[in-house]
């Protein structure tokens, strides 16, 4: 971690250096159970529980999950929500979701509840659910996009009819111990808090109605709790050095044909098709192409061109997983020059500014129906874009890896970078003092677009 200091990256603005320190500190605080993401400090998923009507023995509520995270979304196979009832409540019926188990309803005669468990587990219904079992914002297979990328699909709702519950706002008890899986661990949910009842505006905007009672639960994500092995790595190259710095070997696993021959597949292998379709399809374990890093996702950052006032980067995301199409993928990239991003081709861009006045982190994602779909491993399993940055003379440099990103997330998961000492060097610049590159002279010479500035 110490090697990520300013000397590893050359000139760094004092302000960004301070923040880099903050980020490093918060990185190490992942080792506590604290749920905090330095790049999205207020990110959370809020579960809102609106009681819409009382029934003879309980109430009907609409439960909505809002994804207030900038870039972390919930992908297939989707969310799982659980809680513990405070009393002896049962679920008579649900719309737009279902519990995974009914539990023991043996004491009921006649009408049998949908679920009698004290700690029900709820999952979303799949797309294509009959209309009479749907409500608004349901039935997306548990997928919730981020509000930055796709605000129209950043919420997920279901309706629940609860029995053996209180029937007034004095006697009803809020459920306890909410758990959210997405689908693995990572989220921690706080207690339900009774809040001001939600208000709803009718479609014609001429009338406002309100819930009879509302409570909110806030869930936050922690990389530490998720305890994922890496799923993504970064490789680097540049126009000024032929070396391609590959992802670190064994980033996401090691290729081992002897003890685990099925751990990866060769694209040339005759078994590929059967391996992908055979046992696979339903299973969510990745089936990756054999590589030295064994990661399902690789992000390649190529420093492509140097102009007088600008420089250009090509970013390529490659999918090595034969069992996963990523819909609505996103990248978060930190580089000090994002404050002067001039143009980005074929990706969307939003500046994430978790610290006021610092603008070095960007969220990038694909254009709908063009490249927001990252296909499974194979000839179409990649997306790419080019970024054009305007040089800020006081900070810009090709030395000491400055042109490479400080960190990258793919779908919210950290991508492992090569060690800084492996970054491509400027020819002859490796061990020389900083003063050896005379920038003014070289910018005057370079009044035209040039490709080989140091020849």
Ligand X SMILES: *[C@@H]1O[C@H](CO)[C@@H](O)[C@H](O)[C@H]1NC(C)=O
- Counting contacts by CB under 6 A, is residue 177 touching ligand X? yes
Q: How many CA atoms lie within 13 A of 375 on its CB side?
A: 11
| Distance of alpha carbon 128 from the chain centroid | 26
- Counting contacts by CB under 6 A, is residue 121 touching ligand X? no
Q: In angstroms, rounded to a whole number, what is the distance separating the alpha carbons of residues 7 and 11?
A: 8
The structure tokens 């509520």 sit at 61
Q: What angle do CA 397, 21, 340 make, to 5 degrees?
A: 40
Q: Measured between alpha carbons, how far apart are the two ends of the chain, in Å?
A: 35
Residues 271-310 that bind ligand X (CB under 6 A): 290
- From the list 11-19, 124-132, 133-141, 240-248, the region that binds ligand X by CB under 6 A is 240-248
- Counting contacts by CB under 6 A, is residue 66 touching ligand X? yes
Q: Which residue, 176 or 228, has its beta carbon nearer to ligand X?
A: 176
Cα separations (Å) of 434 from 9, 332, 352, 437, 439?
11, 30, 31, 7, 11
Q: Which residue, 42 or 112, has its beta carbon nearer to ligand X?
A: 42
Q: In angstroms, rounded to a whole number, what is the distance separating the alpha carbons of residues 277 and 280?
A: 5
Q: Which residue, 155 or 299, has its beta carbon nearer to ligand X?
A: 155
Residues 391-450 that bind ligand X (CB under 6 A): 392, 422-425, 427, 430
Instruction: Annotate each residue in 70-99 with x if it binds ligand X (CB under 6 A) or - if it does not, as one string.
Output: --------------x---------------
Residues 201-230 that bind ligand X (CB under 6 A): 213, 216, 218
The structure tokens 């990252």 sit at 374
- From the list 13-21, 134-142, 322-330, 437-445, the region that binds ligand X by CB under 6 A is 322-330
- Counting contacts by CB under 6 A, is residue 339 touching ligand X? yes
Which residue of 15, 29, 100, 257 would you call a contact of ligand X, by CB under 6 A?
257
- Counting contacts by CB under 6 A, is residue 195 touching ligand X? yes
Q: Which residue, 54 or 224, has its beta carbon nearer to ligand X?
A: 54
Take residue 168 and report the two structure tokens written for it: 């007034």
E-only strand ranges, 254-374: 264-265, 288-289, 297-306, 310-319, 326-327, 330-334, 341-344, 347-352, 361-366, 373-374
Q: In angstroms, rounded to a whole number, what is the distance separating the alpha carbons of residues 352 and 364?
A: 10
Q: Which residues bind ligand X (CB under 6 A)?
A: 42, 44, 46, 48, 66, 68, 84, 169, 176-177, 194-195, 213, 216, 218, 241, 243, 245, 255, 257, 266, 290, 323-325, 339-341, 351, 353, 359, 375-376, 390, 392, 422-425, 427, 430
């Amino acid at each position: 971690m110490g090697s990520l200091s300013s000397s590893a990256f050359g000139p760094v603005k004092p302000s960004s250096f301070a923040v880099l320190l903050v980020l490093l500190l918060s990185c190490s605080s992942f080792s506590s159970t604290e749920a905090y993401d330095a790049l999205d400090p207020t990110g959370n998923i809020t579960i809102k529980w609106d009681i819409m009507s009382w029934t003879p023995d309980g109430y009907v509520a609409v439960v909505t999950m809002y994804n207030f995270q900038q870039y972390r979304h919930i992908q297939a196979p989707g969310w799982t929500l659980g809680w513990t009832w405070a009393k002896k409540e049962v679920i008579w019926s649900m719309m737009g979701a279902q519990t995974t188990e009914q539990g023991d309803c043996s004491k009921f005669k006649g009408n049998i509840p949908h679920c009698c468990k004290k700690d029900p587990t709820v999952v979303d219904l799949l797309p294509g659910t009959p209309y009479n079992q749907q409500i608004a914002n349901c039935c997306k297979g548990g997928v919730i996009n981020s509000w930055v990328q796709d605000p129209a699909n950043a919420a997920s709702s279901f309706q629940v009819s609860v029995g053996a519950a209180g029937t007034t706002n004095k006697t009803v008890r809020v459920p306890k111990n909410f758990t959210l899986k997405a689908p693995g661990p990572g989220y921690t949910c706080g207690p339900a808090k009774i809040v001001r009842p939600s208000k709803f505006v009718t479609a014609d905007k001429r009338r406002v109605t309100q819930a009879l009672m509302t409570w909110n639960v806030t869930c936050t994500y922690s990389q530490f709790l998720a305890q994922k092995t890496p799923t993504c790595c970064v490789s680097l190259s540049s126009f000024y050095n032929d070396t391609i710095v590959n992802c670190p070997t064994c980033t996401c696993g090691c290729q081992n044909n002897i003890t685990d021959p099925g751990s990866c597949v060769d694209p040339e292998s005759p078994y590929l098709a059967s391996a992908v379709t055979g046992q696979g399809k339903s299973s969510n374990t990745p089936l990756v192409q054999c590589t030295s890093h064994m990661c399902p996702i690789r992000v390649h950052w190529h420093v492509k061109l140097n102009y007088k006032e600008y420089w250009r980067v090509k970013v390529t995301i490659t999918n090595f997983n034969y069992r996963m199409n990523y819909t609505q993928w996103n990248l978060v990239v930190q580089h000090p020059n994002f404050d002067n991003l001039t143009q980005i081709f074929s990706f969307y861009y939003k500046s994430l500014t978790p610290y006021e006045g610092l603008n070095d982190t960007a969220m990038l994602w694909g254009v709908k129906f063009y490249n927001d779909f990252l296909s499974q491993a194979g000839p179409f399993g990649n997306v790419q874009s080019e970024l054009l940055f305007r040089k800020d003379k006081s900070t810009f440099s090709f030395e000491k890896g400055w042109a490479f990103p400080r960190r990258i997330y793919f779908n919210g998961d950290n991508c492992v970078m090569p060690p800084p000492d492996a970054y491509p060097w400027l020819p002859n610049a490796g061990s020389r003092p900083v003063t050896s590159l005379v920038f003014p002279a070289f910018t005057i010479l370079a009044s035209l677009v040039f490709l080989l500035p140091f020849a």
